[in-house]
Amino acid sequence: MKINRINPDISVLADQLEVPGVGYLPVNAFVLHADEPVVIDTGLSLPGRGFMDALGSLVEIGDVEWIWLTHPDRDHTGALFDLLDAAPRARVITTFLGVGIMSTYRPLPMSRVYLLNPGQSVDVGDRRLTALRPPLFDSPSTVGCYDERTQAYFSSDCFGAPMPSAELATCSDIGDTPSSDVRAAQLLWATVDSPWVHIVDRVGYLDTLTPLQTLDPAMLLSTHLPPALRRTPEYLEMLAVAPESEPFIGPDQAALEQMLAGFEPIPTT
């Protein structure tokens, strides 16, 4: 895991996950250094990722007041319960549906939950954070987060893209990767993560871009993309054409067997 401090208010806990044949998927969590510190998502649910140690290097963990859970997929909830144990005042910002989905794995303590619907805001001491659902999502409980002070939009899975290397997946600026490569990878990710984009009503879908067009965030901070500064119009145009992109079709069993044939069998004793 790599730590990127992109400005005095925001730190990125940058991890990545190799996807064979596709690339390296960024998996970011964020710390918003507000008067009431906010952790946005909590990393991969895999052993040995070092999330809590990395977080402790940025903030006194017991001082964390809020955990904004953009949605309860396992690449967002890795250290959630460790953090709840270590930060006794912290409350989890999510939706009613998010709480319900979590209950199928490990229920959240309801006294630690703060329900927030799209369009509603919460005060974190020196700023207000507003819940805003991104145009693309893979979970009905997804709610992104707009920070009015930094003009940063934390977009959950939206705008994500697999990168060609682990180093680029955890870098501090998407500008390190050519724009044409990013666009192709974003369109791929859009069709993988939100396959419904090909069948949705086009007019209704384009209307979902309007709130972000109006806000024009200075930073787009996706769980699955390095930080993107001053790229909102470019990336919204990418989303506008996503319904026209090639649908993703994953490998089938024949392809899997072909891939496995290239590996040496593991000896058995």
Per-residue pLDDT of the chain (269 residues; tens, 9 = 90+): 999 999 999 999 999 999 988 999 999 999 999 999 999 999 999 999 999 999 999 999 999 999 999 999 999 999 999 999 999 999 999 999 999 999 999 999 999 999 999 999 999 999 999 999 999 999 999 999 999 999 999 999 999 999 999 999 999 999 999 999 999 999 999 999 999 999 999 999 999 999 999 999 999 999 999 999 999 999 999 999 999 999 999 989 998 898 888 776 666 65
Question: Who's near 193: CB < 8 A, 6+ residues apart?
Answer: 136, 137, 138, 157, 160, 224
| CA 140 centroid distance within chain | 14
**Which CATH superfamily is 2-257 part of?**
Ribonuclease Z/Hydroxyacylglutathione hydrolase-like (3.60.15.10)
DSSP per-residue letters across 92-131: EEE-HHHHHHHTTTSPPPGGGEEE--TT-EEE-SSSEEEE
Q: For position 265, what pLDDT does the model report?
A: 66
Residue extents of the structural domains in the chain: 2-257
First to last CA, the chain: 35
